[in-house]
Structure 1
Amino acid sequence: MSITRISLAAGVALATLVAASQASAAAFYLQEQSVRGAGRAYSGEVADRGAASLWWNPASIAGLDKNEIYGGVHLVQVDSQVNNAGSTLTRPVIPGGLTTPVGGEPYAGGPINNGIVPNLAGAFRVNDKLAVGLSVAAPYNFTTDYNSRSWTRYDALKSNLKTIDVNGVVAYRVNDMLDLGVGVSAQYTDAELSSALPNLSPLLPDGSSSLKGDGNWDYGWNVGAQFHATPALTIGASYRSEIKHKLDGHVVVSGLLGPLAAANVDTDGKATITTPWMANLGARWQVTDKTTLNASVSRIGWSEFDQIVVTYPNGGSVSEQNYKDTTTVAVGVDHDVNDKLTLRAGVQYDPTPTPDVGRTARVPDGDRMLYAIGSTWKATDAIQWDAALSYISFDDTKINRTETIYRGTAAATTLNLKGDVGGSAVVLSTGLRWSF
């Protein structure tokens, strides 16, 4: 394989895997893991009890009186706009290069696809102190889709990231004041991504690149505790480890013409990425017989996602990501209207870990505020129905990324991507909890 083809294959694999990792709300993390939690903006789950809180704290099931099954689904509806703000492409034309607008459709409406996020969990009582649990979640799932004529096409066309997380838990009640829990998480990831590639002449049609990456089952761990300071006050804390993922990818490049024709390629490659660790601290305080206040602080270790390493036959590449750790803050309230009905509300501030310089069109992330309301209806002594409605307001933000296509070759072409982004989302959540 020629140097040009090797460099191009590496660049395509690297660009597409980087994009997959960025394609999600709050970078690439979906926090919709509990319908009950959604109703109070996830402000109380680390200090609450039952199978619905397993994602947030493995200690939540210690000392259960009954077995419990939880199932929930979240319908995510996104309204987003991505507009060109002067993006250019500089081709290697002697003497100083030829800089032209990227062209294409200057406005992209709704590139972030709507989606469904399911969760399932079970908690099973062994004795008065010991319980075991299992949760199945989809923490990193997102899809964006741009028109093939979009101004974003050299950076992003389609991005599809899917994960499955299966977490086994053992929890133990030490005494009336302290519960402990530990879990092992198995996580699977795959991705499908595509983008356009420019030919050397602006008069020629674009080429294309695509990647399908299949991961393996990779593993992490989580621990948690709940301290029942008084009958009215519970403080919860948990930690979920980072997970290093290894993806096996298949890269296809086609449609390149003239001097670039030799760079059309069909090859295998590998990449490694690391998902962040998460540390949660929260409390639930029952201020009256009917009203409970909730608060939580989450520190997310996005700096673990500092680079993506790609290897392929006869070479490899490293892409720096420069993500920063973030702190998410939420407050909420639960109010028992009567023995059958509980109402909830909450608000959350969730900052983006993505750098202002380097943000892409794959999913341009921004700081957000989440406002939520919810309820629980106790249908019978054994069955509770949870529902929630969330509205997410995204700060207006900028796409600002410069990258070199065909880096390290005489065909090196500079993409200077600039855009304006705005949007919001609505999440409808519903679920059931069954105790027996």
Structure 2
Amino acid sequence: MYSRIARSVAAALAVGAIGTLAAVGSARAAGFSLPEASTAGIGTANAMVANPKDLGAIPYNAAAMGFHDKSSVALGALMIGPSFSVTTASGSHDSNGADWVGVPMIQAAIKVADRWRVGLGLTAPFGLETRWPYGTFPALSQSATVRLPAPVGRVSIPTASHPTNSKLEILDLAPSVAFRVNEDLSLAAGLDIYWAKSAELNSNLGSMSGDGTGVGFNLGLLYRVGALGLGASFHSASTLGLSGNFTPSNTTLVALGRLPQGQSASLDLDLPWRLQLGARYEFTKELAAEFDWSYTGWSKFQQLVVTGDRTGARISTETNAWKNSGAYRLGLTWQVRPTTQLRLGYAYDETGQGDNYFSARVPDNNRQTFGIGVAQDLGRGFSVEAGYMYVMGEKRNVRSAVPYTSTSGVNGTNALNGQYEMSANLIGIELVMTF
């Protein structure tokens, strides 16, 4: 009996703890995406891909550089205050993660010739932090009492891996180049150099920490005809090779040789491709509106396969089976004074996470986003921008009829049944210099 339980524990640990790496809960866009790349984007709910005027559009579409006659540098930060909660059979529980998480928003666009611009941006497009208290999910918090040979005697060991806290932060260093084909058309291309700066995973059985890198590419197009602007931006999928160290916390299983003292492991994390199309219309010189449609290739996020570095053998496999999802964004910009611009935005994001493999690591659902922002010209080439965004997720009632067993995966089973809720507050500020 003990041997069967221990094998189940080890399998659950590998899947539940290491699988957290790509399934960190996010308080932002569908899945674990963070599309906010500038303060202007925060105020317009990320409807910026067809904007040839505002510098804050460059991180969304590098082709926007071609329409700016001056060089520019923007330095800013995004502060995110997420809130997750779930009501299960054991009561109501909050995900007690960090109250606020800060990520960078940095963008430089340099004019090198009449038709050529080069850019370099730094953002955090994926990741966040969640913490579920032990006992949140009763079926994953149970233990079994077994009798072992003397002198050990009767011991209590866990029968499943209960997720506790998870943290993931991915930075994207994006060099790019833009070419102004003519007065109305600009094209751009660049790289997305990803770095999983922080990846920390904890469960009741152990923890894992590590990092890794990956590379993708991006393309941009921006066309302007009269008062109409049309834009398109594409970021390719990418695979990050992550490596780290697993540290068990259950001393009983370690002493009995059922869990290793410590083991290095690797995991390939597949990031989705992203497509954004937009149309912007200037009703007057002061007032403009943009509608964008975004589509994210979450179908790339199918499985998480953990491999032991010493043996090269597969340790575990976790199925996610996500689907591609869309988002609809509307942004308004109003130049209320020659030196002051106001921004408003609304977006509706669809989740890519279905019911069959629902994961508490990403308690995702459809959500609505409301943004407001302001930009103030300070003179002498300087301006300051600020934005606020509120994210309101729809409640998600998980009522799976699939029974959880110690030998099955957790995703999509009744072990995660409950009512999930989420919201988030986001604040961004930037200092912009043109020269």
TM-score by length of 1: 0.84
**Residues 86-235 of structure 1 aligned to structure 2 (within 5 Å):** 86=89, 106-113=91-98, 114-151=100-137, 154-189=161-196, 190-196=198-204, 208-215=205-212, 217-230=213-226, 232-235=227-230
Cα-to-partner distance string for 1:95-154 (whole Å, 9 max, x where unaligned): xxxxxxxxxx63212434331122101010001110100001111121112334443764
Cα-to-partner distance string for 1:197-254 (whole Å, 9 max, x where unaligned): xxxxxxxxxxx22111321x21100001111122x21111011001111111322233
In structure 2, which of residues 272, 276, 280 is the aligned counterpart of residue 276 of structure 1? 272
| 2:19 paired residue number | 18
Structure 1 residues 176 and 146: alpha-carbon distance in aligned structure 2, compared to 1, 3 A threshold: same
Q: Distance in 2 between matches of 1:156 and 1:170?
A: 43
Q: Distance in 2 between matches of 1:248 and 1:386?
A: 38
CA contact (8 A) 1:249 1:270 kept: yes
CA contact (8 A) 2:50 2:229 kept: no
Structure 1 residues 174 and 193: alpha-carbon distance in aligned structure 2, compared to 1, 3 A threshold: same
Structure 1 residues 252 and 3: alpha-carbon distance in aligned structure 2, compared to 1, 3 A threshold: farther
SS of structure 2 residue aligned to 1:269:
strand
**Residues 365-404 of structure 1 aligned to structure 2 (within 5 Å):** 365-399=364-398, 404=405
Shift in Å at residue 47 of structure 1? 3.1
CA contact (8 A) 1:4 1:263 kept: no
CA contact (8 A) 2:15 2:318 kept: yes
Shift in Å at residue 4 of structure 1? 8.7
Are residues 1:77 and 2:81 paired? yes
Query: Partner amino acid for 1:169?
Result: S
CA contact (8 A) 1:9 1:267 kept: no
Q: Distance in 2 between matches of 1:31 and 1:117?
A: 12
SS of structure 2 residue aligned to 1:245:
strand
Q: Distance in 2 between matches of 1:258 and 1:157?
A: 19
| 2:38 paired residue number | 34
Query: Partner amino acid for 1:111?
Result: N
| 1:292 paired residue number | 288
Indicate the larger mover: 134-143 or 262-271. Answer: 262-271
Shift in Å at residue 37 of structure 1? 1.2
Indicate the larger mover: 114-123 or 129-138. Answer: 114-123
Cα-to-partner distance string for 1:314-338 (whole Å, 9 max, x where unaligned): 6213322110101100112111111
Q: Distance in 2 between matches of 1:53 and 1:40?
A: 10
Shift in Å at residue 80 of structure 1? 2.8
**Residues 210-359 of structure 1 aligned to structure 2 (within 5 Å):** 210-215=207-212, 217-230=213-226, 232-255=227-250, 257=252, 261-265=256-260, 266-312=262-308, 313=311, 315-316=313-314, 317-359=316-358
Structure 1 residues 20 and 273: alpha-carbon distance in aligned structure 2, compared to 1, 3 A threshold: same
Q: Distance in 1 between matches of 2:172 and 2:427?
A: 22
Q: Distance in 2 between matches of 1:318 and 1:403?
A: 17
Structure 2: which 5+ runs fail to align? Answer: 142-160
Query: Partner amino acid for 2:163?
Result: A
Query: Partner amino acid for 1:431?
Result: E
Query: Partner amino acid for 1:210?
Result: S
Aligned-residue CA RMSD (Å) = 2.5
Q: Distance in 2 between matches of 1:245 and 1:5?
A: 31
Structure 1 residues 278 and 238: alpha-carbon distance in aligned structure 2, compared to 1, 3 A threshold: same
Structure 1 residues 433 and 403: alpha-carbon distance in aligned structure 2, compared to 1, 3 A threshold: farther
Q: Distance in 2 between matches of 1:391 and 1:259?
A: 45
The sequence identity of aligned pairs, in percent, is 27
SS of structure 2 residue aligned to 1:12:
helix
| 2:424 paired residue number | 425
Indicate the larger mover: 323-332 or 304-313. Answer: 304-313
Are residues 1:66 and 2:62 paired? no
Aligned residues: 398
| 1:200 paired residue number | none
Shift in Å at residue 267 of structure 1? 1.3
Query: Partner amino acid for 2:170?
Result: T
Shift in Å at residue 155 of structure 1? 3.5
CA contact (8 A) 1:364 1:398 kept: no
TM-score by length of 2: 0.85
CA contact (8 A) 2:52 2:67 kept: no
Indicate the larger mover: 262-271 or 370-379. Answer: 262-271
Indicate the larger mover: 44-53 or 115-124. Answer: 44-53
Query: Partner amino acid for 1:288?
Result: T
